[in-house]
Each structure stands twice: as structure tokens, then as C-alpha cells.
Amino acid sequence: MNDTAENPANLNLVLDVPVSLTIELGGCQLPMRDVLQLAAGSVVQLDKAADAPVDLSINGKLIARGEVVVIEDRYGVKITEVIGAAPTA
């Protein structure tokens, strides 16, 4: 298919606009006392299980969930769910 058939003309205007993609592995709350004691080698326990899906957000809006994978020596995310997408037949 060509670009025009896949994307309406008005969508083509924004396809090259950069957006900020954030992948949230987890979080935690710490008292300031503990934050001030963080140093190289410190371990911070997060609120998600190791096998829990991670959230993918674009400009702060949740768009998908996925699982962390390792590709060579880098982390990646395999998309397992697209939020708000219609089910495929």
C-alpha cells in the first residue's frame, strides 16, 4: 500500500513530529532519609513483580503494555497489548 491509502492526508502532517516514549518498569515511595542514603551499588525494590508487564506511554498517555526483553546487550520491550485498539479478527 502507498502512504496515501494507509494514512489520511491530515495524519501525514504529524507523522514526523517527535514524541516522548516512556517505559515504566515500576516505582516506589521512599522517605527522604532513604533517598539521601542512596549510593552506587544501592538496590531499590520496585512495586511490580519481575514478570509483570511494563507500561508504554507517549507524552504521558498510556498506549500499550509489554514485556522486557534483552536484545544482544540492550534492553527492549515486546508489545503484548495495545491500549484502546480494536481486537483483530
- Span 24-81, pLDDT tens digits: 999 999 999 999 999 999 999 999 998 899 999 999 999 999 999 999 999 999 999 9
pTM for this structure? 0.69
Q: Judge: domain 19-82, CATH 2.30.330.10.
A: yes
Question: What are the residue ranges spanned by the domains of the chain?
Answer: 19-82
Task: Tell me the residue type at 9.
Answer: A
Cross-strand partners of 54:
66
